[in-house]
């Protein structure tokens, strides 16, 4: 594993596998953005039932709730590199077949629902395997920088480059965005397959071990680690607030602020720009506060930004608040992922990350429903204030684990233990 020193911060070297993993992740994010933008546009041509159209999005959440923990357990059992490239190859074939169906005029809303459900089900294995694989490619001290580069690259590819390209591709035909997505999956699979094989850190499973017992073991490990337990609780609460905000942001901008579609585009641009800045500059906060306390600072700053969004009736204030919210959101995501990788026992990272992701996804649809309800009952600005309340709760959940002497939990095999928050 190679690292370089960049202005006093340990950063991953592009050679040794990280560059190929980064390229695969960014390319896949670009393809995902094409598909995500094209699916609802195709759905409205196939049905005029809002419930069916919304169900396409719901199918992107449901597999995480149903299969998320299972995907983490499987990721800890198998060769993560092989699992990732096989999953991407299968996803490429599925999306390619769907593109052919669209081109031939055989697409249906039912086929869209099956595709969305199947792709996200496969993603539960891929994402957990990817989280577990990164520490095998990057030195421990460079994990934070590696995660920042991965998430920033994905945000650029998906947030800035992917979605704007969709209208151009659609001019060539409704099937073209899906065909392009299929190509990105297959190229990403080839890149991942070329990664160097790492020595497995997994220990032989005891006789009689089952997936159910291994999932339970991962949940117990998560529950015993005060810092990780706080992170999971905080993330679940944050995502309820995020769901409320995201589901109603367009109403806040176009209704309460009367800024129209141009205002909404400006708001989303401010959020994306802030996210990218957070990926580049967030490491300075870690150097100053430490990783866990940086997450605490990020949550507190996002709470303040949400209060501004819901109480100051100004488009300038909203865009500034969203830029700060995006900056601190990227800081949160980079550091929570890194903390999971650093604190999880070897061979259990897939299960720990799956518990984290499952809680995160479960909170979002609940928050969306709450946001819609309070916007209807109390006004278009109230979902942002509701989100702020959930972020306050998330910050409170982080405090017990933010002490520097919180021990790192290790497996029950008499292994050594470490102390301190990185």
Cβ contact 49:112 at 8 Å: no
Question: What token pair was written down for 305?
Answer: 């930004």
Instruction: Return the sign of the alpha-carbon dihedral for residues 118, 120, 124, 128.
Output: positive
What's residue 16's pLDDT? Answer: 66
Q: What is the DSSP letter of 407?
A: B
pLDDT-derived band at 416 (thresholds 50, 70, 90) equals: very low
Is residue 213's pLDDT more than 70?
yes
How do strand 3-6 and strand 9-12 relate by DSSP bridges?
antiparallel
Question: What token pair was written down for 322?
Answer: 């969203």
What's residue 420's pLDDT? Answer: 40
Give the pTM. 0.75
CA–CA distance, 204 with 197 (Å, rounded to integer):
18
pLDDT-derived band at 408 (thresholds 50, 70, 90) equals: low
Is residue 4's pLDDT more than 50?
no
What's residue 413's pLDDT? Answer: 42
Give the list of residues 6+ apart from residue 262 with CB closer than 8 angstroms, or none. none
Is residue 396's pLDDT more than 90?
yes
CA of 360: how far to CAs of 231, 314, 332, 355, in Å? 11, 31, 13, 9
CA–CA distance, 275 with 111 (Å, rounded to integer):
34
What's residue 418's pLDDT? Answer: 39
Same fold flag, 3-195 and 214-401: yes
pLDDT-derived band at 204 (thresholds 50, 70, 90) equals: low
Burial label for 325, CB within 10 Å (0-12, 13-18, 19+), is buried
The secondary structure element, H or E, covering residue 12 is: strand 9-12
In b/e form, how buried is each residue of 270-306, taking b as 16+ CB within 10 angstroms?
A: bbbbbbbbbbeebbebbeebbbbbbbbbbbebbbebb
In CATH terms, the fold of domain 3-195 is Growth Hormone; Chain: A; (1.20.1250)
CA–CA distance, 342 with 282 (Å, rounded to integer):
18
- The pLDDT tens digits of the residues spanning 309-365 come to 999 999 999 999 999 999 999 999 999 888 888 888 877 888 888 887 887 777 888
CA dihedral 250, 254, 259, 265 (to 10 degrees): 30
Q: What is the DSSP letter of 11?
A: E
Q: Which residues pair with 407 in a beta bridge?
A: 419
What's residue 404's pLDDT? Answer: 57
The secondary structure element, H or E, covering residue 301 is: helix 291-311
Superfamily covering domain 214-401: MFS general substrate transporter like domains (1.20.1250.20)
For the chain, the domains span 3-195, 214-401
CA of 192: how far to CAs of 36, 52, 108, 231, 348, in Å? 23, 35, 32, 29, 21
Is residue 89's pLDDT more than 60?
yes
Cβ contact 187:20 at 8 Å: no
């Amino acid at each position: 594993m190679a690292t370089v020193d960049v202005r006093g911060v340990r950063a991953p070297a592009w050679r040794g596998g990280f560059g190929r993993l980064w390229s695969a992740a960014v390319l896949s994010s670009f393809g995902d953005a094409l598909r995500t933008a094209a699916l609802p546009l195709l759905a409205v041509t196939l049905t005029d039932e809002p419930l069916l159209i919304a169900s396409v999005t719901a199918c992107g959440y449901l597999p995480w709730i149903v299969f998320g923990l299972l995907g983490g357990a499987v990721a800890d059992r198998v060769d993560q590199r092989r699992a990732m490239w096989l999953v991407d190859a299968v996803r490429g074939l599925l999306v390619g077949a769907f593109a052919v169906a669209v081109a031939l005029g055989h697409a249906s809303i039912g086929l869209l629902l099956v595709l969305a459900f199947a792709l996200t089900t496969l993603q539960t294995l891929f994402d957990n395997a990817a989280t577990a694989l990164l520490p095998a490619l990057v030195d421990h001290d460079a994990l934070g920088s590696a995660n920042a580069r991965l998430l920033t690259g994905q945000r650029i590819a998906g947030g800035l480059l992917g979605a704007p390209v969709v209208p151009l591709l659609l001019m060539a035909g409704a099937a073209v965005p899906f065909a392009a997505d299929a190509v990105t999956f297959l190229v990403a699979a080839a890149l991942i397959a070329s990664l160097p094989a790492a020595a497995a850190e997994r220990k032989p499973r005891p006789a009689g071990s089952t997936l159910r017992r291994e999932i339970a073991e991962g949940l117990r490990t998560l529950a015993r680690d005060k810092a990780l337990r706080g992170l999971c609780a905080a993330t679940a609460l944050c995502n309820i607030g995020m769901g409320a905000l995201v589901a109603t942001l367009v109403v806040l901008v176009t209704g309460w602020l009367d800024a129209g579609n141009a205002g909404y585009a400006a708001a989303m641009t401010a959020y994306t720009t802030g996210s990218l800045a957070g990926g580049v500059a967030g490491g300075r906060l870690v150097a100053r506060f430490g990783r866990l306390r940086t997450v605490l600072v990020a949550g507190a700053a996002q709470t303040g930004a949400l209060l501004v969004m819901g109480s100051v009736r100004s488009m300038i204030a909203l865009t500034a608040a969203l830029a700060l919210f995006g900056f601190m959101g990227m800081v949160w995501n980079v550091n929570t992922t890194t903390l999971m990788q650093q604190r999880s026992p070897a061979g259990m990272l897939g299960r720990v990350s799956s518990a984290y992701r499952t809680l995160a996804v479960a909170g979002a649809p609940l928050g969306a429903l709450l946001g819609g309800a309070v916007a209807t009952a109390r006004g278009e600005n109230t979902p942002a204030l509701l989100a702020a309340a959930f972020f306050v709760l998330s910050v409170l959940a982080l405090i017990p684990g933010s002490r520097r002497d919180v021990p790192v939990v290790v497996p029950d095999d008499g292994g050594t233990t470490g102390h301190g928050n990185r």
